[in-house]
Amino acid sequence: MGRIRLADISTRAPKDFDKETTKAKTQEILGQLDELQNLLYAESKYAILVILQGPDASGKDGVIRNVFTSMNPQGITVKSFKTPTAAELSHDFLWRVHEAAPAKGMVQVFNRSQYEDILITRVHKWIDDDMAKKRMKAINDFEKLLEEHNNTQILKFYLHVSPEEQQERLQERIKDRTKQWKYNENDFAEAKLLKEYRSAYEDCFEYCNDIPWTIVPADQNWYKEYIIASTLLATLKKLDMKFPGLKKSNQGY
Does 65 participate in binding its own copies (rule CB under 8 A)? Answer: no
Stretch that binds its own copies, among 32-40, 50-58, 116-124, 225-233 (CB under 8 A): 116-124
Number of CB atoms found within 10 A of residue 149's CB: 8
Tell me whether strands 107-111 and 152-160 are parallel, antiparallel or unpaired. unpaired
**Contact with its own copies (CB under 8 A) among 65, 95, 176, 180:** 95
Stretch that binds its own copies, among 34-42, 131-139, 202-210, 238-246 (CB under 8 A): 131-139
Closest contact distance (angstroms) between CB of 197 and its own copies is 15
For its own copies, the closer CB: 30 or 71: 71
**Phi and psi at residue 41, in whole multiples of 5°?**
-70, -45
**Phi and psi at residue 187, in whole multiples of 5°?**
-55, -45
Does 42 participate in binding its own copies (rule CB under 8 A)? Answer: no
**Contact with its own copies (CB under 8 A) among 8, 83, 181, 238:** 83
Does 251 participate in binding its own copies (rule CB under 8 A)? Answer: yes
Stretch 45-64 residues interacting with its own copies (CB under 8 A): 47
Neighbouring residues of 215: CB distance < 8 A, sequence distance ≥ 6: 4, 6, 9, 158, 160, 205
Does 129 participate in binding its own copies (rule CB under 8 A)? Answer: no
Does 252 participate in binding its own copies (rule CB under 8 A)? Answer: yes
Does 152 participate in binding its own copies (rule CB under 8 A)? Answer: yes
Does 105 participate in binding its own copies (rule CB under 8 A)? Answer: yes
- DSSP H stretches of helix in 180-253: 187-191, 194-207, 221-238
Closest contact distance (angstroms) between CB of 82 and its own copies is 11
CB 118 within 8 A of CB 204: yes
Neighbouring residues of 12: CB distance < 8 A, sequence distance ≥ 6: 162, 217, 219, 220, 223
Does 145 participate in binding its own copies (rule CB under 8 A)? Answer: yes
CA geometry: angle at 163 spanning 158 and 169, to 5°? 85
Best CA proximity match to 168, nearest among 82, 56, 38: 56
For its own copies, the closer CB: 90 or 178: 90
User: Could you give the count of Cα atoms lying within 13 Å of 116 in the half-sphere of its Cβ?
Assistant: 17
**Contact with its own copies (CB under 8 A) among 6, 39, 78, 120:** 120
Interface ranges with its own copies (CB under 8 A): 44, 47, 83-84, 87, 89-95, 98-99, 101, 103-106, 116-117, 120-121, 124, 126-127, 134-135, 138, 141-142, 145-146, 148-150, 152, 250-253
